[in-house]
Structure 1
């Protein structure tokens, strides 16, 4: 198989449960060695996609191609796919070593080969000293690694991860995120990760597919989705942002020119430029605003006064009133020391056109 050929190809996949459409004509390619995350709220279709890839659900229409083979109608055990569940689904009456060997025995491997693969995967995931322990004797992070070891032991082409970090506390979750990403890099396996946690998706993924109501809202790198959201849904779902609503005036080269409460602002349109005269909304991330004592020479510059400050540790959220009569305001992130210096005097904020994404809806 050519390495340039997608490992996974979903072609027009639709899934209906009675009158409810869980997936609506999903077409998507996943490359070999890619860490792809499906992100979205409950009911958006991300878990349905995972179950269809795993063979636990059949699509109402469309096809699933894995390694060049149509596996749409194949059961889970016939696919080169394995799964890590949210609760890990480890067998409590089996030791770590026995849990890892379970899938290898199902494949019909001989005892010598099973032992060799156990040792290999346990060493790789630093589980050597835990082989004779039972799941109840392990920490949450250790159980996570055992679940990964069991899933990786049969050498699947695709690993499906269904919100596997949901049971961990915040501190451990951060550690395991980095560990999971490191494992994916070292194995060069293709990971398909499902989560509703925006930070988790941005931290771990090569590529994020944002789902909404069974459709793809946007598909791109974490940086593209965060700084260049194509829709209002993506802008609001991922992180915190300013939403600026105004009128489309026209284009200046690649820049969209908009009127915002009498201010002329310039941005870009990832989802395609709107028409002159249209009502439009732009997304401006809080950390993209720069403060100045005098009007900056950036293409976007507005003056306002500080009406609120929220201390957030290393940084501060600053609320600016731009036009009180019109209700025009902005919020910005600054380092805490800078934020403390703001008083009653008006301040200027500026930002580049690339920092402001005009949304398609």
Structure 2
């Protein structure tokens, strides 16, 4: 099966604002129909990348290729790209019908073609009954759909979304996340989404690009980033985790053998730049990957300790366990509340598999 050509290529793009470097040699490709999320803290370069793709900023170096055309120097209206802004940027004095039609009129479409496209897009997004309303008469979720309809109506190759859900309350935000993902799937458009919300990124994305200080820290599926983070920054930024530092003793297949306070542990080795024997490394273990046992388990890795803290979280409980013979090292685990309530002050065993402990680079 042939792999489709990238619809977007970002080639060695850098961007400086005076002496401040916002992006450093960014190289990325996006495939047709992908839902890709840029995730990272404020100031990491994700919104700058979006603005460069949209034509609102010019890169200091590098190229932007869209549908095999170099658009680096082209303004926004000359690119087959549309953008949904954080505040949706709907015209308050225009009805839904007028807001959606506006961009089509700018493209020079005739009235008959505009009506046909308007009917198609409002039916697709279930907005038919709202076309004569003004933005102030719509809910937050409805305004979101109108902004999407306006952006999708000209049939762009790429849709850019700059934190478009940040103004919604938590309940509505969850609903719109699912709706947005469904729209992307049904339209088969390439969506490039920007957020600093890790849960939002994990929920919606086919692929996540984690950025920090203008550079890509890791590029992969939500599962890859969560369970096999490339480095400490990614491990800490996406979810909660435990960190274990140990000395490399060797390699067994795709696992590294570590010594940790006299105990032998095995962890999933990074895909590149294998550390050498004797090198100190850090590994990440997600809280839900640790299991509690009254007897020594048959897992590849085990530790014994005492519970020193419990936090009730509703359907689950966070347990803090101080590991024996490790100079006070503590591991944290998520367990079902019923299991957590039964764990007492006696010594207990923790178990986890080698594949559930990711040895980090850097």
Band the TM-score falls in, shorter-chain normalisation:
over 0.9
Task: Tell me the residue number matched to 2:276.
Answer: 275
Task: Tell me the residue number matched to 1:319.
Answer: 320
CA contact (8 A) 1:8 1:29 kept: yes
Distance 1:218 1:51 in 2: 21
* 1:248 Cα offset (Å): 1.4
> 1:35-65, CA deviations, whole angstroms, 9 ceiling, x for partnerless residues?
0000000111101110010011111110000
> 1:289-327, CA deviations, whole angstroms, 9 ceiling, x for partnerless residues?
111111111110111111111111111111101037612
Distance 1:9 1:335 in 2: 45
Task: Tell me the residue number matched to 1:122.
Answer: 122
> 1:198-249, CA deviations, whole angstroms, 9 ceiling, x for partnerless residues?
0000000000000011111000000000000010000000000001112111
> 1:95-132, CA deviations, whole angstroms, 9 ceiling, x for partnerless residues?
11110101100011111111111111111111111111
RMSD: 1.1
* 1:250 Cα offset (Å): 1.5
Q: Does 1:81 align with 2:75?
A: no
TM-score, structure 2 as length reference: 0.98
Distance 2:126 2:260 in 1: 56
- The correspondence of residues 46-85 of structure 1 with structure 2, limited to 5 A, is 46-85=46-85
TM-score, structure 1 as length reference: 0.98
- The correspondence of residues 264-303 of structure 1 with structure 2, limited to 5 A, is 264-272=264-272, 273-303=274-304
CA contact (8 A) 2:39 2:201 kept: yes
Distance 1:304 1:326 in 2: 12
Q: Partner of 1:4: helix, strand, or coil? A: coil
CA contact (8 A) 1:269 1:358 kept: yes
Q: Partner of 2:65: helix, strand, or coil? A: strand
* Runs of 4+ deviating beyond 3 Å: none
Distance 1:307 1:256 in 2: 30
Aligned pairs, number? 360
Unaligned ranges ≥5, structure 1: none
CA contact (8 A) 1:14 1:60 kept: yes
CA contact (8 A) 1:231 1:271 kept: no
* 1:350 Cα offset (Å): 0.6
Distance 1:88 1:185 in 2: 21
Q: Partner of 2:317: helix, strand, or coil? A: strand
- The correspondence of residues 1-361 of structure 1 with structure 2, limited to 5 A, is 4-272=4-272, 273-323=274-324, 326-361=327-362
Distance 2:47 2:230 in 1: 23
Distance 1:108 1:315 in 2: 57
Instruction: Tell me: CA distance 1:3–1:279, structure 2 relative to 1, closer, same or farther (3 Å).
Output: closer
Q: Partner of 2:218: helix, strand, or coil? A: strand
Q: Partner of 2:332: helix, strand, or coil? A: strand
